[in-house]
Structure 1
Amino acid sequence: MKALRNVLTKLLNALAGISFIAMVILTCWQVFARYILKSPSTWSEELVSYLFAWASLLGASLITGERGHMNIPIIVERLNAGAQKALGIFGEIVAFAFSAIILVYGGIQISQLAMGQMTSSLGVAVGVFYVVMPLCGILNMIYTILNIADICNGVTQEKKEEA
């Protein structure tokens, strides 16, 4: 399980990093084209906005893998260990359900719906850019299952950070 988590995390870090580097390069190109060449680049602006969405969703999957999603620890920390474990598992189940329903099911639906619509500057089907939703939903679901296994085995965030 740890090996799977490490592979997924390395892959997501690489994809998010590549996306960020591409955004920086494309944004620099936009500025150069607009102010030096006096010919704005519309395709790069559109691509940057899609890459930003991809990087955001990939980053959200990374956070899910680290169990870093939003929580209110002040309440949970006052409970006994069994209740903390139960709430941790419940939180992961909610994240799993959200990923399955909204990201995977909804992402597939919107991707299919948008395949007939083309982007204005790139000339690519919009649905291609929406494919990241079900992809990240599946990654989130894998991570939540791994997180539940960690919680059941008593692996806390503090123990994960030490390892």
Structure 2
Amino acid sequence: MAILLVDVWLGVLDRYVLHLQLAWVEELARYIMIWGIMLAVPCCTAAREHMGLRLVVDRLPLFPQQLLSIAIGVTSVGFFTLIAVTGIAFAEKGFQQFSTVFALPMFWAYLAIPVTFGLTAFQGLLVLALDVIALFESRHSDVKGAVS
């Protein structure tokens, strides 16, 4: 993010003071923002900070809440895996396209999609595993409490 900040400030300084007409600052900022935003997705998944509608879920008893969380987790991991796999083919098509200023293959920008969604699927699996463990621990403690 520090590189993005320096790059954007350089672009502003160039536009209003230096007048060097540096064409690359805008393109560099664009690719840094793409990667930065996309890499935030797996971080949010790991911390369970994604936006969601909890109105119905929070009104359910604990066991149905846990089952619904697991179902949502399985669906999410499947979706993220699908996007990661199809994103690979999309990124490969980027070898035939080149960026305007840097003349780099767009593969490097498009690669953010499979990398991000692959990492998100992995983080989703870890969160799903924690949800399954929590379900079994709560069910085990309910059975243990009923016996004693």
TM tier, shorter chain? Answer: 0.7 to 0.9
* Other-structure match for 1:113: 93
* Other-structure match for 1:79: 60
Q: Which moved further from structure 2: 50-59 or 69-78?
A: 69-78
The one of 10, 25, 39 aligned to 2:20: 39
The one-letter amino acid of 2:44's match is: I
**CA–CA distance in structure 2, aligned partners of residues 78 and 59 of structure 1:** 29
Question: When the two structures are superposed, what TM-score results if normalisation uses the length of structure 1?
Answer: 0.78
Displaced runs of 4+ in structure 1, greater than 2 A? none
Q: CA deviation at 1:71?
A: 1.7
What secondary structure sits across from 2:115 in the alignment?
helix
Does residue 66 (structure 1) correspond to residue 47 (structure 2)? The answer is yes
* Other-structure match for 2:141: none
Unpaired segments ≥5 residues, structure 2:
136-148
For each residue in 1:126-157, what CA deviation from the matched residue of structure 2 results, as whole angstroms up to 9, or x when unmatched?
011111111111111111111011111228xx
Does residue 91 (structure 1) correspond to residue 66 (structure 2)? The answer is no
Percent same amino acid among aligned pairs?
Answer: 23
Does residue 124 (structure 1) correspond to residue 104 (structure 2)? The answer is yes
Q: CA deviation at 1:40?
A: 2.2
* Other-structure match for 2:38: 57
The one-letter amino acid of 1:60's match is: V
Q: CA deviation at 1:65?
A: 0.8
**CA–CA distance in structure 2, aligned partners of residues 33 and 121 of structure 1:** 17
How many correspondences in the alignment? 135
Q: Which moved further from structure 2: 146-155 or 110-119?
A: 146-155
* Other-structure match for 1:137: 117
The one-letter amino acid of 2:56's match is: I
Question: When the two structures are superposed, what TM-score results if normalisation uses the length of structure 2?
Answer: 0.85
The one of 17, 29, 32 aligned to 1:48: 29
Unpaired segments ≥5 residues, structure 1:
1-19, 156-163
The one-letter amino acid of 1:47's match is: L
What secondary structure sits across from 1:77 in the alignment?
helix
